[in-house]
């Protein structure tokens, strides 16, 4: 069962979107190492990951605006994201992508924990059922 952890005023100064602040709060509450924020993974390109666990080459992207017509769901925005994520994959990164709703439901945290621990898909699928 996914855990639900709310963002707190304690972390309002963390910057980023509400979903990013909530995710960061969840990481701290779960005792997970703090990731690097806004990691540029392919200079000179300006691409950044919302969160990066650099030694493990695990990136987390919180895709805002998915239900409100944000940049990530427009034709050009979606195409640009595909290029970014494919280049990241070719560079050896595992990119985990979540909506703010997935963060709120605790599923993003569950998937990240499973990835960091090297657990397989079965563990994550049990939690999402």
Full residue range of the structural domain in which residue 32 is found: 16-38+60-123
List the structure tokens of 46. Answer: 């300006």
**128 is a domain residue:** no
* pTM score, whole prediction: 0.80
- Determine the Cα–Cα distance for residues 111 and 83; give it in Å rounded to an integer: 23
- Answer whether residue 4 is part of any domain: no
d(CA 59, CA 95): 5
How many folded domains does the chain comprise? 1
- Per-residue pLDDT of the chain (129 residues), as tens digits, is 455 545 444 444 567 889 999 999 999 999 999 999 999 999 999 999 999 999 999 999 999 865 555 665 678 888 999 999 999 999 999 999 999 999 999 999 999 999 999 887 776 676 665
In a domain, 70, yes or no: yes
- Domain assignment of residue 53, yes or no: no
Q: Does residue 116 lie in a domain region? A: yes
Paired tokens of 113: 């924990």
Q: Is residue 94 part of a domain?
A: yes
Residue 103 falls inside a structural domain? yes
Residue 7 maps to a domain: no
């Amino acid at each position: 069962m996914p855990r639900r952890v709310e963002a707190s005023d304690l972390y309002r100064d963390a910057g980023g979107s509400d979903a990013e602040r909530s995710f960061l709060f969840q990481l701290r509450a779960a005792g997970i190492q703090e990731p690097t924020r806004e990691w540029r993974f392919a200079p000179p390109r300006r691409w950044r990951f919302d969160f990066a666990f650099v030694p493990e080459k695990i990136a987390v992207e919180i895709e805002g605006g998915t239900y409100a017509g944000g940049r990530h769901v427009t034709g050009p925005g979606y195409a640009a994201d595909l290029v970014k994520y494919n280049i990241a994959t070719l560079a050896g990164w595992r990119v985990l992508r979540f909506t703010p709703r997935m963060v709120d439901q605790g599923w993003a945290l569950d998937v990240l924990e499973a990835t960091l621990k090297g657990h397989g898909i079965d563990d994550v699928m049990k939690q999402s059922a």
